[in-house]
Copies of this chain bind each other. A is one copy, B any other.
Amino acid sequence: MAVEPLVLDGKLVASEIKESLKSRVAALKEKGITPCLATVLVGDDPSSATYVKMKGNACAKIGMESRRIHLPKETTTEELLDVIGELNDDSSVHGILLQHPVPHHIDERAAFEAISIEKDVDGVTSLGFGQNSLGFGEYPSCTPAAIMSIIDYYGVSLEGKHAVVVGRSPILGKPVSMMLLNRNATVTTCHSYTENLPDLLATADIVVAAVGKPNFIQGEWVKEGAVILDAGYNKGNVGDIDYDACYEKASAITPVPGGVGPVTISMLLKQTVESAEKDARILQNS
């Protein structure tokens, strides 16, 4: 293809968001409120530990606090629910992130559901999902919110366009489908049972890859001029799309790394700051 696609640089989007958050955090501190994200990690998964550490560092960089709770892998569902309950009740905590995945013996859904809607800054509760899907929620799931931020930053048009989402997880495929639908895209959600994925992708103006399989989306499947957003992050810094082949066809494309990932963390920070700002307003009015 003669024209190179626009590379949708997530680091640019993320740094603009974080820059604006710094002054908001400073303003909150002047009122005596330091936005605080509590991260809960259960067990010893090294990738999860790295993610949690990255999130803590990101908080520190914009002047936010983070409180890291690390529980042993033997933790029971009940013990985890107790910890979440304490964080819900702690007025110095503005957001709660339970790092996925938790050990298999824990009821992860019950743990997510226990997070109070006011502190569900990672957008994992069914209530948060429902509210955002119906168009009035406060804190959407962070990766879908990151995808929407990139779309808005680069002025990608959605109205009437056909968006094909590959993946249907509760924190990615389903919520991003609903968010694209609320922005007037026509949305097709695909998954492992989909019989005719290449045919569907051939009609997609916008492709969201959220399937968790390295290099899964082939260049020959996508339409010339499609906007391709890769939310996948697999071992070896590889996304869910075959980048080089898709690059040849796309009008715009997110890289991996440096695409959706960095914006996701900035969404988590932004939503925690928003929760703290809400607290500040409540305090002011009380």
Q: Judging by beta carbons under 8 Å apart, are A125 and B136 in contact? A: no
Which of A126, A170, A184, A196 has the most CB atoms of chain B within a 10 A radius of its CB?
A126
The answer to whether the Cβ of A22 comes within 8 Å of any Cβ in the partner chain is: no
Closest residue of chain B to A109 (Cβ to Cβ) is B136
16 A-B pairs with CB atoms under 8 Å apart are A109-B134, A109-B136, A126-B136, A128-B130, A129-B134, A130-B133, A134-B170, A134-B174, A160-B193, A160-B195, A162-B195, A162-B200, A181-B191, A184-B191, A187-B189, A196-B203
> Contacting A188 at CB < 8 Å: which of B129, B133, B186, B191?
B186
Determine chain A's interface SS by DSSP, over half rule: mixed
Q: Hey, which chain B residues are within 8 Å of A187, CB to CB?
A: 188-189
Q: Judging by beta carbons under 8 Å apart, are A162 and B196 in contact? A: yes
The answer to whether the Cβ of A178 comes within 8 Å of any Cβ in the partner chain is: yes
Q: Judging by beta carbons under 8 Å apart, are A186 and B190 in contact? A: yes
Q: Hey, which chain B residues are within 8 Å of A131, CB to CB?
A: 126, 130
> Contacting A133 at CB < 8 Å: which of B133, B185, B186?
B133
**Bound-complex Cα distance A184 to B199 (A):** 18
Q: Hey, which chain B residues are within 8 Å of A181, CB to CB?
A: 168, 174, 189, 191
1/0 per position for A111-141, CB-CB distance to B under 8 A?
Answer: 0000000000000011111110110110000
Q: Hey, which chain B residues are within 8 Å of A174, CB to CB?
A: 133-134, 178, 181
**Copies of this chain in its oligomeric complex:** 2
Closest residue of chain B to A136 (Cβ to Cβ) is B109
Closest residue of chain B to A174 (Cβ to Cβ) is B133
**Bound-complex Cα distance A178 to B134 (A):** 13
Q: Judging by beta carbons under 8 Å apart, are A186 and B178 in contact? A: no
A283 to chain B, nearest CB (A): 24
Q: Judging by beta carbons under 8 Å apart, are A160 and B194 in contact? A: yes
Q: Hey, which chain B residues are within 8 Å of A168, CB to CB?
A: 181
Q: Judging by beta carbons under 8 Å apart, are B200 and A186 in contact? A: yes
Q: Judging by beta carbons under 8 Å apart, are A129 and B133 in contact? A: yes
> Contacting A193 at CB < 8 Å: which of B128, B134, B186, B188?
B186
Closest residue of chain B to A175 (Cβ to Cβ) is B133
The answer to whether the Cβ of A159 comes within 8 Å of any Cβ in the partner chain is: yes
A218 to chain B, nearest CB (A): 18
Q: Hey, which chain B residues are within 8 Å of A200, CB to CB?
A: 162, 186, 203
The answer to whether the Cβ of A161 comes within 8 Å of any Cβ in the partner chain is: yes
A180 to chain B, nearest CB (A): 9
